[in-house]
Structure 1
């Protein structure tokens, strides 16, 4: 399967644009955002676990990162409530499940070989720092080489300066709404910006964003 596999093109997927697709395990469904491969794939997805569902034990040959959007996601290492960001490095294994049900945003097989960090951060309990714009708060989740993953909390009325992404960028709108000169992106929207992309984001109502930059260069 090849879905949104041309990384030189911008992609926007808003809530309702991508269908839910059953996984091989009962009670686990996926919204595929981009994908290269079949069941073992370089993939970006939103995954929904029904209460009491689980996925079979599996390895991460290219690493895995995920953000818990709602509910509680679990594996043999522990429980990860909503707001938790996790990185499982290349070669790690687990058997995920959810007792009460959950939704996660997950990226597979996208790690640099040298990036071996294990990360678990719950943004509800972390120390945020002031960002570049007035009122903007940021929480850096991970950095490696040119790649940076962070959360941004923007107050209502945030006006943006032009942003240029030499290594590309991704956004997931977690709360509120984001806008730029091309359109409006409500909560649940996913944007992928190719290397060299420029835009001027702002937020009339305020928003919480997951952002990843510098990872899409050749």
Structure 2
């Protein structure tokens, strides 16, 4: 067992991540991007907000973990603790009535 952190580890805190508003009341905080285009982010949605248009997953899939609140993909509600795998080529219309925080992972960019 090693007591020192592996120097290859990369880390950041959500509070330190830059904030970019993508639509009114919807903010993304990029956390990490890999050499192959993979990336991780936190998405914060205020109550009664929605994505403007359809969110299409290209070039690869999107992995979503609902950290807090209730997320709706345009078809159903996902409460905190839900995990959603959206395959490449699929789409949805992200929205929320309660507000929510999501952890997003894009394994292929």
Same fold (TM over 0.5): yes
Q: Decide which structure has greater strand share.
A: 1
In the alignment, which of 54, 58, 79 is matched to residue 57 of structure 1? 54
Shift of 1:59: 1.0
Q: Computing the radius of gyration over CA atoms, which structure comes out larger, 1 or 2? A: 1
Matches within 5 A, 1:192-203: none
Which deviations, in whole Å up to 9, do the C-alpha atoms of 1:17-76 show, x marking residues without a partner?
2132211x111101111237xxxx742100000111111312112010010000000012
Instruction: Give the alignment's Cα RMSD to 1 decimal.
Output: 1.9
For residues 14 and 107 of structure 1, the distance between their equivalents in structure 2, rounded to whole angstroms, comes to 16
For residues 15 and 84 of structure 2, the distance between their equivalents in structure 1, rounded to whole angstroms, comes to 26
Residue in 2 that maps onto 1:35: 33
For residues 89 and 14 of structure 2, the distance between their equivalents in structure 1, rounded to whole angstroms, comes to 33
For residues 14 and 86 of structure 1, the distance between their equivalents in structure 2, rounded to whole angstroms, comes to 23
Residue in 2 that maps onto 1:19: 18
The alignment's TM-score, normalised by the length of structure 2, stands at 0.80
The alignment's TM-score, normalised by the length of structure 1, stands at 0.42
Matches within 5 A, 1:99-114: 99-108=97-106, 110=107
Matches within 5 A, 1:113-124: none
Q: In the alignment, does 2:105 pair up with 1:98? A: no
Which deviations, in whole Å up to 9, do the C-alpha atoms of 1:163-204 show, x marking residues without a partner?
xxxxxxxxxxxxxxxxxxxxxxxxxxxxxxxxxxxxxxxxxx
Matches within 5 A, 1:155-166: none
Matched residues, number? 98
Structure 1 gaps of 5+ residues are 1-7, 112-218
